[in-house]
Structures are given as structure tokens and as C-alpha cells.
Structure 1
Amino acid sequence: MMEIVALIMFVALFALILTGVQVAFALMAVATVGGLVVFGDSVFHQFVGKIEDVATNFILAAVPLFVFMGAMLERSGIAEDLFSAIRIWTRKLRGGVAVGTVLMAIVFAASTGVVGATESLIGLLAIPPMLQQGYKKSLISGTICAGGSLGTVIPPSIIIILLGPLADVSVGDLMAGMIIPGLLLGFFYLTYVLVASAMGGAGPRLEHDPADDMSLSEKLVLSAKALLPPLVLISAVLGSIVTGAASPTEAAGIGAACAVVLAALHGKLNLRMLWHSLVQTLSVTTMIMFIVLGGSLFTGVLLGTGALWNVQDAISAMDVPTWVLILTFLGIVFAAGFFLEWISILLIFVPIFMPFIKAAGVDPVWFSVLVLITVQTSYMTPPMAPAIFYLRGVAPKEITLKHMYAGVMPFVIIQFVLLGIVAVFPVTVLWLPSILLGF
């Protein structure tokens, strides 16, 4: 009987989401009805406990701080200076603007930790010069979507902050484990952009620019000034978490304080900017926390049905090979990415998958990184790619949905290549955490 209740809960959840109900409210509604069936009136006492758990979770307190840090950086002008400084060095390359866009995305992803927060900003900065220089619209679209989504796999990242407790693994180990795959992905993106540009994806190099008249020392000083703010944030946030000097929440607090100071030093800090950053932080954090709460309620009721343990016993009895189990789970995550947000995917599926993964003797940090890469891949994969919807908000009408679909596909293939490398060579994930553990 309880297995049927669990199945109906899943069907009802996806039906509500597909009909346009907000994910958080769909999770809560299904959890409430399912909880009444499973636990009766006592479900409300359990819900109060779940609400308290989410509200008092120390790690989740890092979420609004990271969001605030990203909002401050977006409005401080630091991104514009960074993009201009990078273009000084890349403008003479065929495809230099696209290369500069990916480089900026890597640095900003490692600075803000906010998933997808940089895509709109990068698009506003990079699309006009790329159109002016005759880039193919598909290459423009793919570069912006791929670069803007790097915040998923390059730490620090809000998605890692949420995944750590769900997978019952150290957030520091996850961040350390994502460094090498994240940098590999950035390198693959840069390689593809250069090759595609050389094959006609980009227009001719600019003949002359005022930056060409700058001396080497002037270029170095300008670049240092532009790179210093994000490097300070990367060192303060990521460095303190990975080395164990601070918890994720403490590091997020340090990053938020640094973002305010950097905005002030940049001459952009004022009450209006601070107010808009706080409003954006409140809006994004509320959305995230409602989904987290809904996922917690849904998972609690699902566990109460006992269906998961029966499934685990059935899988154990079938003696399924470990690699089949992993591929099945990653396939479910990838398919779910077509119609669910990344937060929902983690909250619904990770608590279900992790007991099987641990029982099979699979390293949970390595599997968690595979999940992160898969989530980002589905984030970019048509037809329901969230990365494309971010781009549509800032792209001119001449860049159509067809251009966007065509542009992201090479980057999706690159994502699968990285997924294969990490799957075959777990050392790419586990080496750095093991090194840091020795200190």
C-alpha cells in the first residue's frame, strides 16, 4: 500500500510541475496530502520539526550571504573592468572576444558562487562586440550559455553548499574535488572557442584599438587592478573553505563583507545600490529556501512510506553492477533537468540515491561531482535548457532560439566528455581533497 502512495506522490508532483505550479508549492502540496495518508494528523508536528531544521541549518545560512556577494559584484562595475582588462590581452586573437568571455566567466564563477548569476551580465557585456565583429550567432549563444553556467561546477557554488548536507559529505571536500574538473571544463571551452573561431566562427581581428597604444607596464597595471577584486574574493572564500580555516557559512560572511568593501573601493557603493542588492538577495534566497523546505517535507514523507527501503532491498537482490546503478542514477538526473530546477533535482533525488551509492561502496564525493556535472549538462541541453532562457532575456531579436539551440550543442558534447573523464578517472576528483586532508 505504502509503495503505491510513494508512486502516486511522484506522479502527482511531476503532473503539478508540468501544469505550471511552482516547484516549491508543488512539493509542499504533495507532501501535505501524502503525509496525511501516511501519518495522519501527526504529519503537521513532523512538518514543524522539518521547518525548524531548515531554519536553523548553519550551512544553509551561507546561501543569502553568497547571493548578496554576487549581487554586490554584479552592480559594482567589477565585471566590466575585468572584461575590459581581459580583452586587452585577447583582442588580437581570432575569436578573442569569445576567449575573453570564457576567461571572465571562469573568474567570476570562482568569485560569486551563484549559479547562473553571471550569464545575463556576461551576455550584456559580450554580445554587442561579438555581433560587431561578425561572430556566428550560434557561437555567440553557445559561449554565453556555457560560460554563464560555469558557476555550477567551479567552486565556490551555492549548489555545492546545498549538495553537501544532502549527500552527507563535507562541503570542503566537494569544493576541493570540483576544482580540477571545473578548470578542465574551462580549458575545453577555451579550446573549442579557439578552434571554432579559426574555422570561421569569428570575424576578422580588429585593426586598431586605443589599447594597442598602451605600454606593457600600463597593461599589466590595468589588468592587476581588474583582477585584484575577484582574486581577493576567491582567496577569502574558496581558500578558507578548502583549507578548513572557515566553515562555508563563515567563508560566505567573509565574502559578503569583502564584496561591500570592494564596491566601496570601486566607488560604486551607495544606498541605492545596497538597497537593490538586498532586495535581490531577499528575492533569490526566499525562492531557494521555499524549494529547500518543500523538498525536505516531500523527502520526509517519502521516507515514511518505507518504499525506498523496499527498492533498496530489491536492487540488492538483483545484484545490479555498480556502474549500471551509477549510470541509471545519472540518467535520471539528466532527464529531470529538462523540466526541474537544479535545486529540485538535488532535493528530490540525492537523498534517494545516496543510500544506494554508499551501500555499493562508491565514494560519495566522486558521485556527487558526477551529479554536479550532469546537472550542468542538463542545464544547457535543449529543449528546456534554463541557460537558454537566461540568454533570451538579454539577447537581441536577431539571435533566435534556433541559433541558441545550435550554439549550445558543442558545449553539451564537451560536458559529456568531461563527465566521461571524471567517471573513468576518479583521481581527478579525489586527489586534491586527499592532499588537503593531509595538512
Structure 2
Amino acid sequence: MDADLAIWMFPAAFALIFAGIPVAFSLIIVAVIFAFPVFGSLTGLQLYQFVGSVSSNYSLAAVPLFIFMGAVLESSGIGKRAFESLSMWMGRLPGGLAIATLSMCTLFAAGTGVVGAVEVMTGLLVMGPMRAAGYSKSIISGTICAGGSLGTMIPPSIVVVIYASVAQIPIGTLFGAVLVPGFLMVGFFLIWIIVYALIWPASAPRVHFGQDMPLGRKLGFTAYALFPPLVLVTSVIGSILLGIAAVTEAAAIGAVGAVLLNILYRDFSWRETWNATVKTATVSSMIIFIALGGTMFTSIFKIQGGAELVDAAVSSLDVGPAGLVIVLLFAYFIAGMILDWISAVLICTPIFLPFLHAAGVDPMWFGVLAVIMLQTSYLTPPMAPAVFYLKGIAPRDFSTLAMYRGVFPFILCQFLTAAAVFAFPEIATIIPELMRP
């Protein structure tokens, strides 16, 4: 082992990524190059074993099913009906449209598990009505970006599935662990929206959608728009948390249920179903390639003596268990700003787990904090992938600076959530403890 070579693996990977090579292929290329000094002509044979280990990972079988579920829901009219229904009841509140938007994002985060899809779909649906109602660009941008990021925290998050698989934690247990922190974060988001609307009412005015509609008709439309999606989401998440179904079985329920919902709402078409299938295959392939690249990269990094390097660096800090957690979370945060989330999880988690175990840190509790940090990095400038997702669909007069201003308070809410979970681990452990037989 030559630790000097391990030092250069990360700079080499980042150089390829910044040169425009996809993350998965950058990681694979670096793994092959740095494996050659160790294995020589047997490099290909040694690395090929990772293809089998990743492709046979049972936990990852749920990923394409959850993606298909989200793709089908995304292509339907469920989002539009949900927003109209929520706006009727919440529009009269301070910042009512923003509250309705965030509520819809929470529902669809639980229905898709895919970050980015929720944000784009929500942005296309709500930007017009919110602008017409007089909402400021900053609160529109912040609400959509923050709401879109909830797919990281709210089950069935793909990021949570990947972390649980790498950390060898039952996926259902980790789903339970992120549930309360996820809704706590939503609560902080809602509080900020209301405070903003009370301080600057002209920038987040109350609206009166459907005020002339009879109460019975309102209730009927709300039941029609919200009850079936809520049943689907509850069936998927509830069956996992109650131990009725394994994660893969629950994902299959979600995939079939999403198609049935489209049929119920008369949104079904073979063309959209085919498009959802193609999207599922594309995104799933990308995730599998990233998983393969991340597994190869971290394994060769360890073989080259990288684990000893990290051990020496951590030991030199002498910060104790709490300080170790903070340092490692900061590393996740930085990795999330540079890499996509799945790559950050696959690279950092296998390297950090031995140090967490040695320090007596619960990897499940740490995993919740790591997911929060990754979600926060999604909003944080200058990278801020959430801002650039929104920029791609926003009108031209939405400046990047206005979007940065809009997301900043929500970033503080995310850090506040992380601080609460750090100070009171019971927030993350209460549901897993209830799930124990």
C-alpha cells in the first residue's frame, strides 16, 4: 500500500468531474488507474467483482420501483389538483400560497423519493399563480427550492435507501429515523413562511381561491384531490414502518398504486407510462453506475492506504465523539456541494463508518444528520443545485441573487433541524424504538 497514491485519488476524481466527465465514469476511471499499481494485469478481474456485488444488492431493487412510482405521479395531474385543493383552504392564511406549495411538496416528496423532480414539477405548477397573487420572487424561489429538497428527508428517499444499504442498517428503520426530523424541518419552514408573511404582508398576501364555492363542494373536491394520494403514500410508508411489507414489496405497491391512481383520475395514457418507464430505466442506470463507481473508488482508496490517512487525520484532531461527528458532517456537507448526493454517500460513508463505530456513535443517528447536511448543501450557494434547477424553469426576471436570498432562511431552518437532532438524539430514535418487537 502506498498512502501517497491515496492522497491523489480525490484530486484526480475532482479534476475529471470538473472537466465534464460524468461522476460515475470519473470514479471508475480513477479506481482503475490507482488499482493498476496494486493488481497489475489482474486489475480488470479484481474490479469486475464489484459489478456483481452492486448488481446483486437486494436493497437497491427498491430504487427503480420508487423512481417509477415518482415518474408516474409526476406525469399525472395529481399535483395540479392537490395545489388547487390546498390553496382553497390555506390561501387565506399569511403566506397561504407558499404554505400550500410546501404542503404539496411534502406530499410529493413522500410519493417520489427523487430530488429535483418534485422541485421542477412544483415550480411549473405554482410560479404563475404565486406571481399573479403578488408574491415576491425571493419567497417564491425559497419555498420551491426548500420544498423540492424534502425528497432527501421524507421517505421513500432514494438517498436514505443508499445510505442504509452502505451502512447495513435496515431501510425501514432508517425511514422511521428520518420521519420525525423531516416533519420537524417542514415545521420550521412553515414557521418562517408565516413570520415572513406577517412582517412583509405585501410580499406574501392572503388570497381567497374558491371563496364562492359551497362548503360541500369544497370538501368533495378536497377528498377527490387529496385522499387517494394520501392513501397511496400511507400504504407505502406505513407498510414499511409497521413491518407488514419489506421495502421492495412496499415499493412495488407504490408503483402499482401510482398507475391505478392515474387510471382513477383518468390521467392514464400508454405514452406517459412508456415515458415513465424510460425515465425509470435512465435514472436507475445512472444510480447503479454511480454506486459501482463509488464502491470501486472507496475500495481502492482503502487498499492504497487511504483509511490509515483518514485515521491519522482524525486522530490528530483529538476532538472527542461529538467533535468527530461535527467534522464528518462538515465533510458530508462539502461533498454534497461538489458531488451529487448518491456519490457523496457512497464515497464518504464506507470511509467514515469505522471511525463512528470506534467512537461509539450510532450510525443510524449519524445517518439522519448526514442526510440533513446533504439536503442543506443542495440549497447552499455557490453551487446550490436547487437554485439551478429552478433557474432552468423560472422566468428571465428571476435573478440568481434573488433566489439565493430566498433560500438563505430555509438553510438556517435546516441547520436548526440538524442542531435539534444533534442535541436531542431521541428525535431520530423515537420511531425506530417503537418499531422494535
Would the TM-score normalized by the shorter structure come out above 0.5?
A: yes
What stretches of structure 1 of length at least 5 have no aligned partner? none
**Counterparts of residues 372-383 of structure 1 (less than 5 Å):** 372-383=371-382
Alpha-carbon contact 1:123-1:144 (below 8 Å) kept: yes
Mapped partners of 1:44, 1:190: distance in 2: 52
Mapped partners of 1:101, 1:311: distance in 2: 43
Mapped partners of 1:4, 1:34: distance in 2: 11
Mapped partners of 1:379, 1:315: distance in 2: 26
Deviation at 1:41, TM superposition (A): 2.2
Q: Match for 1:85: what amino acid? A: S
Q: Match for 1:377: what amino acid? A: T
Deviation at 1:318, TM superposition (A): 6.7
Alpha-carbon contact 1:153-1:376 (below 8 Å) kept: yes
| Worse-superposed segment, 213-222 or 112-121 | 213-222
Deviation at 1:42, TM superposition (A): 2.2
Aligned to 2:336: 337
Aligned to 1:106: 106
Q: Secondary structure in 2 aligned to 1:61?
A: helix
Deviation at 1:310, TM superposition (A): 5.5
| Worse-superposed segment, 15-24 or 121-130 | 15-24
**Counterparts of residues 146-157 of structure 1 (less than 5 Å):** 146-157=146-157
TM-score by length of 2: 0.96
Mapped partners of 1:356, 1:409: distance in 2: 32
> 1:231 aligned to 2:236?
no
Mapped partners of 2:19, 2:364: distance in 1: 35
Mapped partners of 2:91, 2:50: distance in 1: 53
Q: Match for 1:45: what amino acid? A: L
Q: Secondary structure in 1 aligned to 2:326?
A: helix
Mapped partners of 1:328, 1:198: distance in 2: 37
Q: Match for 2:108: what amino acid? A: F
| Worse-superposed segment, 258-267 or 304-313 | 304-313
1:89-119 CA deviation, whole Å, 9 max, x = no partner?
0111231110100111111111222222210
Aligned to 2:212: 213
Alpha-carbon contact 2:173-2:241 (below 8 Å) kept: yes
Aligned to 1:431: 430
Q: Match for 2:304: what amino acid? A: T
**Counterparts of residues 125-274 of structure 1 (less than 5 Å):** 125-200=125-200, 202-206=203-207, 209=209, 211-274=210-273
Mapped partners of 2:237, 2:422: distance in 1: 24
Mapped partners of 1:239, 1:89: distance in 2: 26
> 1:402 aligned to 2:401?
yes
* Residues 138 and 6 of structure 1, relative CA distance in 2, 3 Å threshold: same
Aligned to 1:322: 321
Aligned to 2:10: 10
Mapped partners of 2:342, 2:127: distance in 1: 29
Mapped partners of 1:46, 1:59: distance in 2: 23
Aligned to 2:289: 290
Mapped partners of 2:244, 2:302: distance in 1: 35
Mapped partners of 2:341, 2:26: distance in 1: 15
Q: Match for 1:123: what amino acid? A: G
Alpha-carbon contact 2:66-2:156 (below 8 Å) kept: no
Q: Secondary structure in 1 aligned to 2:405?
A: helix
Mapped partners of 2:15, 2:236: distance in 1: 40
TM-score by length of 1: 0.96
Percent identity between the two aligned chains: 46
Alpha-carbon contact 1:17-1:26 (below 8 Å) kept: yes
Alpha-carbon contact 2:229-2:261 (below 8 Å) kept: no
Alpha-carbon contact 1:161-1:248 (below 8 Å) kept: no
Q: Match for 1:282: what amino acid? A: A
Mapped partners of 2:246, 2:38: distance in 1: 37
Q: Secondary structure in 2 aligned to 1:296?
A: helix
Aligned to 1:97: 97
Deviation at 1:274, TM superposition (A): 0.9
Aligned residues: 436
Q: Match for 2:157: what amino acid? A: S
Mapped partners of 1:43, 1:243: distance in 2: 45
Alpha-carbon contact 2:291-2:342 (below 8 Å) kept: yes
Deviation at 1:215, TM superposition (A): 2.5
Alpha-carbon contact 1:101-1:147 (below 8 Å) kept: yes
Q: Match for 2:244: what amino acid? A: A
Alpha-carbon contact 2:2-2:304 (below 8 Å) kept: yes
Q: Match for 2:140: what amino acid? A: I
Mapped partners of 1:46, 1:254: distance in 2: 38
Alpha-carbon contact 2:60-2:165 (below 8 Å) kept: no
* Residues 399 and 305 of structure 1, relative CA distance in 2, 3 Å threshold: same
1:357-396 CA deviation, whole Å, 9 max, x = no partner?
0111111100000000000000100110111111012111
Aligned to 2:416: 417
Q: Secondary structure in 1 aligned to 2:360?
A: coil
Deviation at 1:28, TM superposition (A): 0.6
1:316-341 CA deviation, whole Å, 9 max, x = no partner?
58754111111111111111222211
Q: Secondary structure in 2 aligned to 1:334?
A: helix
Q: Match for 2:383: what amino acid? A: M
Q: Secondary structure in 1 aligned to 2:255?
A: helix
* Residues 240 and 204 of structure 1, relative CA distance in 2, 3 Å threshold: closer
1:274-297 CA deviation, whole Å, 9 max, x = no partner?
111111112211211111111111
Aligned to 2:34: 34
Mapped partners of 1:236, 1:343: distance in 2: 26
Deviation at 1:238, TM superposition (A): 0.9
Mapped partners of 1:282, 1:376: distance in 2: 24
Deviation at 1:254, TM superposition (A): 1.1
Deviation at 1:82, TM superposition (A): 0.7
Alpha-carbon contact 1:2-1:38 (below 8 Å) kept: no
Q: Match for 2:128: what amino acid? A: P
Deviation at 1:153, TM superposition (A): 0.7
Q: Secondary structure in 2 aligned to 1:59?
A: helix
Alpha-carbon contact 2:24-2:293 (below 8 Å) kept: yes
